[in-house]
Amino acid sequence: MHISAKDLAALIPTDFTLGVATAAFQIEGALTEDGRGPAGWDMFSAKDGAIVENHSPAVACDHYHRMPDDVALMKQLGVDSYRFSLSWSRIQPNGSGPVNPAGLAFYDRLLDELLANGISPMLTLYHWDTPLALDDAGGWMNRDTAYRLAEFAAIAAAAYGDRVARWCTINEPATVTTNGYTLGLHSPGEALMLNALPTVHHQLLGHGLAMQALRAAGVPGEVGMTNVYSPMVPNSINPLDKISAGLMDLAQNRLYADPVLTGKYPDLIRAAKFFGSFDHPDEDMDIISQPLDFYGLNYYMPTKVAVGPGEGAVPASMAEAMGSDLSAAGNGATPFHVKPWPEADITSYGWPVKPEYMRVALKEMAERYPNLPPVIITEGGASFEDIIVRDKSTNTTFIPDERRLKYLSDHIQSALQATAPGGEAEAIELRGYYVWSLMDNFEWSAGYNQPFGLLHVNRETLERTPKASYFWFQELIEERNLAAAAGAAVAQAASGEPDDVAVPSAAEVPDDGVTTSGASA
């Protein structure tokens, strides 16, 4: 069982955002419309075998044409904030140079629609869909891409700066490097192994330069970036497993978090010879480690690590779900490997469901980075195959996704408890949780086979159907609003204000703004 929505709501502090997240390439479709230029992902996913069952992103969720309806579903859900990303090549078809007015206009409409519905926008500049022209010039192997991202940030700041409450420069550079350049599972499909290291530095530099551009434009919104974090757990007490987990932690977590939060790459990485392959000016580190208004953390699962190449870098079932047997790269080539977690509940991706490790993640972050800015969980969620139940008598559809609902409830609870006074990560000021994802979408190399949505999307009709998890999240937000209104009434009474000053109930929250405790921006 999971905690009741009411009891969970009681744990939510004031100024905590409850939101939902998506990314442009995963939902928009309309890849050739209104002057959008191609992205590297367009080409990658057109390659035979690159995506599970050769699913195509051409239509995705057709959000480009259904945006107002999707915003209406968010309004009905009651979220404080929506995290979305820009399609870079929709706005700047070649990744540099002229801007496409029709592309800019789409996000103008989206922002206006969100604000008209009282939903605070969180905008991610870069969520993996690099313009093809830049990929052709080397993508993130090329230092110039970082400067192009800064140019793009300046365009976005000028166009949207007045309306965006939170900016996220880049999303999960670790996944781009690992899946895109190390193992070749994602666009641009390079399997460069250790030679992929320059893509780490160039993405982080891109983040820093984009931040400078946003600050120079004077955007009033908060600015931060998002890293994924997975606690690395040794498979056994074998010291070599422990060392392996430590190396994996360096390669997947600290390689990306240390530079941003401390201005230094981890010592071991700096000492390693291969690091010489991307010598960089010292000033880069100042740019990368500029103060952030918030640190975005995506948490999905812990990772169990064992020494040796195993049967491949990741378990066969996980690789298969991602559309690869990893025979091109990773198999036998890595000094350690990821183990399945046999005793754990697993998602349909094969990811272990371990909400207690959300607490570990936050504790490790708090211990490692004493100057951590406020943290927002910018993504969390689970893919499970959904069962669609139809009631013929009323012609209604119901999707009882109890496992997703429980995943979300347990993880939000863990995050809140760990960061509450007395919790193991109490030093962290936790500002919000965004559910991945608003709707089932194009899950990169897994195509449409890994549904993460609160909304089911019918692949033939594209009709959206709220799942049980949607209704649960709606209830959680309502309970949170009621608790906040009650808290405000108590505070008012205690301050000796006259009794007749009305405190709006959740039901009376005006349409033009989010006035609950969750609206931080």
> Does the annotation mark 172 as catalytic?
yes
By the rule CB under 6 A, 230 interacts with ligand BGC: no
In 3-state terms, what secondary structure has residue 95?
coil
The region that residue 323 occupies, defined by phi over 0 for left and psi between -120 and 50 for alpha, beta otherwise, is left
Q: Is residue 23 a contact point for ligand BGC (CB under 6 A)? A: yes
Distance in angstroms (rounded) separating the CA atoms of residues 432 and 369: 19
CA distance 436 to 433: 9
Binders of ligand BGC in range 439-458 (CB under 6 A): 443, 452
User: CA–CA separation, 241 vs 110, rounded Å?
Assistant: 48
Is residue 28 at the binding interface for ligand BGC, with CB under 6 A as the rule? no
3-state DSSP assignment of residue 219: coil
Pick 159 or 228: Cβ nearer ligand BGC: 228
CB of 436 to ligand BGC, least distance (A): 5
129 makes contact with ligand BGC (CB under 6 A): no
Is residue 286 packed enough to be buried (19+ CB in 10 Å), middle (13-18) or exposed (0-12)? exposed
Which range in 170-178, 261-269, 424-432, 454-462 contacts ligand BGC by CB under 6 A? 170-178
Determine which one of 172, 190, 222, 364 is catalytic.
172
Crossing angle, helix 402-419 and helix 356-368, to 10 degrees?
30
**Site stretch for ligand BGC (CB under 6 A), options 109-117, 168-176, 246-254, 321-329:** 168-176
> How far separated are the first and last CA of the chain, in Å rounded?
33
Site string for ligand BGC, 374-403 (x = CB under 6 A): -----x------------------------
Helix axes 198-216, 144-160, angle to 10 degrees: 30
Q: Where are the alpha helices (DSSP H) in 183-278?
A: 198-216, 239-249, 255-262, 267-271
Shortest Å distance, C-beta 280 to ligand BGC? 26
Which of the following is catalytic: 28, 222, 379, 479? 379
Told to check if 265 binds ligand BGC by CB under 6 A, we report no
How many amino acids of this chain bind ligand BGC (CB under 6 A)? 10
For ligand BGC, what does the binding mask look like between residues 294 and 333, x meaning CB under 6 A? Answer: ----x-----------------------------------
Contact between 187 and ligand BGC per CB under 6 A: no
Report how far residue 463's alpha carbon sits from residue 452's, in angstroms, rounded to the nearest whole number. 16
User: Which member of 228, 260, 313, 408 binds ligand BGC (CB under 6 A)?
Assistant: 228
Structure-token match 């429980």, residue found: 406
Among 135, 172, 222, 258, the residue binding ligand BGC under the rule CB under 6 A is 172
Confirm or reject binding of residue 436 to ligand BGC (CB under 6 A): yes
Candidates 202, 76, 99, 208; CA nearest to 141 is 202
> Which chain residues interact with ligand BGC by CB under 6 A?
23, 171-172, 175, 228, 298, 379, 436, 443, 452
Provide the annotated active-site residues.
172, 379
